[in-house]
Amino acid sequence: MAQKKMILDLDTGIDDAMAIAYAVADPDVDLIGIIGSYGNVYVEDGVQNSLKILELLGATDVPVYQGLAHSSESDHFDRMPVSAQIHGENGIGEVQLPDPKRQPETGDAIDFFIDAVKKYGKDLILVPTGPLTNLDAAIKKAPEIATKIGNVTIMGGAVTVPGNVTNVAEANIQQDASAANNVFRKVPLTQVGLDVTLRTLLTKKETQQWRDLHTKSGEAFADIVDYYIKAYEVTSPDLHGCALHDPFAVGVAINPDFVQTIGLNMYVTTDEKYYGRTTGDPARLDDPNTNVKVAVNADVDAYLKSFMDHLTKLFKKQ
């Protein structure tokens, strides 16, 4: 058993599935739970995808909780058409995996997370790779946990590059800017945003290595990720591959040496014109006690080697 415990907060689409695989494969953490969110898919579908991926990987002991179904600003969630284009209607590249034998947990997702913070404290790692609605709800319900979580590493935001849903906003932050703003002001965290995730790319050369394993998980992940790569050929042809957004955040959470960061006090703008922008907080510019580490450069080669080693070894087993 590893000393460090990890909880993933996922809107399980294709890169989230790879994030699960990385967390399951890494020996330095124990994946103790997944909290479902909305974004790439509806929350119910994301929870089922998480359960299916865990079963595919032989990690059926990991509990999955259904988190909040929509942003803190609304009473419903409408999936963006581009999400279906990139991840497929089912969220995992239209690959049909068996219905999972394990069901979602019946307990409250927010309480599960709060209890984990109280139990593990500085040994707990949280990696949200969707909207920050669940984390926001947790710190509103139990404000004392905001500074007790050992490591919060988010996939979201953009500082040195444009956003991917508007010129200034990245999708995860834009889904619930109010929740993100509350988290950015109160929680020490590392932001793994588009600044670095767009540099960590996977191609069909790598997925062919998984296919060549001739295992169930290797072939399924090759099919899932090839769908993602094909979608990127349409949406981002200049990248020549698919971005490893969410699994890179998991990698950085475990090994921060994969990125170089700058310390900032940040907030998220909620006005209509710049909704969802992650930027420096003008009210705290002179405060030397910064709470956000913004990843601005990446050791791409080192991460990609780790990523392929982790997933390939895992897929060989199943």
Catalytic, out of 9, 11, 26, 246 = 11
| Confidence band for 1, pLDDT divided at 50, 70 and 90 | confident
- Interior angle at CA 110, CA 281 and CA 173, nearest 5: 35
**Per-residue b/e over 142-151, b at no fewer than 16 CB within 10 Å?**
beebbeebeb
Per-residue pLDDT tens digits for 261-275:
999 999 999 999 999
CATH code for the domain of 295: 3.90.245.10
Q: What is the mean pLDDT of residues 200-222?
A: 97
Domain that holds residue 303: 4-316
- Interior angle at CA 285, CA 284 and CA 291, nearest 5: 60
| Confidence band for 8, pLDDT divided at 50, 70 and 90 | very high
Per-residue model confidence (pLDDT) at position 245: 97
Task: Classify 99 in phi/psi space as left (phi over 0), alpha (psi -120 to 50) or beta.
Answer: beta
| Confidence band for 156, pLDDT divided at 50, 70 and 90 | very high
φ, ψ at 100 (rounded to 5°): -70, 145
Per-residue model confidence (pLDDT) at position 124: 98
Respond yes or no: is residue 287 known to be catalytic. no
Respond yes or no: is residue 76 known to be catalytic. no
Tell me which amino acid residue 97 is.
L
| Confidence band for 318, pLDDT divided at 50, 70 and 90 | confident
Catalytic, out of 70, 245, 246, 310 = 245
Per-residue pLDDT tens digits for 73-101:
999 999 999 999 999 999 999 999 999 99
pTM (2 d.p.): 0.97
Per-residue model confidence (pLDDT) at position 182: 97
Mean pLDDT over the full length of the chain: 97
- In angstroms, the CA 246 to CA 20 distance is 9
Q: Does the pLDDT at position 232 exceed 90?
A: yes
| Confidence band for 239, pLDDT divided at 50, 70 and 90 | confident
SS3 call for 13: coil
- In angstroms, the CA 150 to CA 129 distance is 17
Domains identified in the chain, total number: 1
Tokens of 234: 């349409």
